[in-house]
Chain A
Amino acid sequence: AQSVTQPDIHITVSEGASLELRCNYSYGATPYLFWYVQSPGQGLQLLLKYFSGDTLVQGIKGFEAEFKRSQSSFNLRKPSVHWSDAAEYFCAVGLNFGNEKLTFGTGTRLTIIP
């Protein structure tokens, strides 16, 4: 069965600083990989997804993620964070086709300090 690990429960960064959130997955084949963001009391918003092709994917709000098969990782990055980026971030993995169920990590809470 697939699994997702987000090793950082909570990260604090200064506004304007760069950000990297880590995600490692376990799955036998090439997975479908996603990053979602959740603001307090809200549902999940898709930031970006990777299915195949270019391993560096661009998403909304200036986020990008890089798929590294050798490391089973799909880390999320942003060169300069804004106060509005404070939220919970979830990495998820899906199976190889269709709108299959997603397996989520436990999330990383991002705090932005002025």
Chain B
Amino acid sequence: DAGVTQSPTHLIKTRGQQVTLRCSPKSGHDTVSWYQQALGQGPQFIFQYYEEEERQRGNFPDRFSGHQFPNYSSELNVNALLLGDSALYLCASSLGVTENYGYTFGSGTRLTVV
């Protein structure tokens, strides 16, 4: 049973560039959430997608956007990258939005902005 798969595992981008991160949820899950984890910090909630719509959003600027596809996979897009966007980006999948069965996290994408 495949868990949450994220790609790529690492990437380096230059300030001002745009980046797309990808996530495939655990089999049977239909909800995808994205978190940013800066070095030495706990994960911070970016947003959550369910039924191909953004359901909740954290305190992140509009430079952060996302998408969910009909197969429940998701993308996180960040425009106009800043040095402060360097972090581990975690994708978490779950089932539905009316019961709290808990998340399954992926191993993350390490983004370095230079």
Contact (Cβ within 8 A) B4 A98: no
A contacts with B, residue count (CB < 8 A): 26
In the assembled complex, A34 has its CB within 8 A of some CB on chain B? yes
Q: When each residue 75-104 of chain A gets 1 if its CB lies under 8 Å from chain B and 0 otherwise, what string results?
A: 000000000000000101010011111111
B103 partner residues in chain A, CB cutoff 8 A: 44, 46, 99, 102
**Which interface class (under 10, 10 to 19, 20 to 34, 35 or more) fits B?**
20 to 34
In the assembled complex, B8 has its CB within 8 A of some CB on chain A? no
Residue with the greatest number of chain A CB neighbours at <10 A, chosen from B90, B96, B99, B102: B102
In the complex, residue of chain A having the shortest beta-carbon distance to the beta carbon of B58: A101
Q: Are A98 and B108 CB-contacts (below 8 A) given A46-B102, A107-B42? A: no
In the assembled complex, B74 has its CB within 8 A of some CB on chain A? no
The one of B48, B90, B98 that contacts A101, using a Cβ cutoff of 8 Å? B48
Contact (Cβ within 8 A) A32 B106: no
- Tell me the B residues contacting A by CB distance below 8 Å: 4, 31, 33, 40-45, 48, 56, 58, 90, 92, 94-108
- Tell me the A residues contacting B by CB distance below 8 Å: 4, 32, 34, 36, 41-46, 49, 51, 90, 92, 94, 97-107
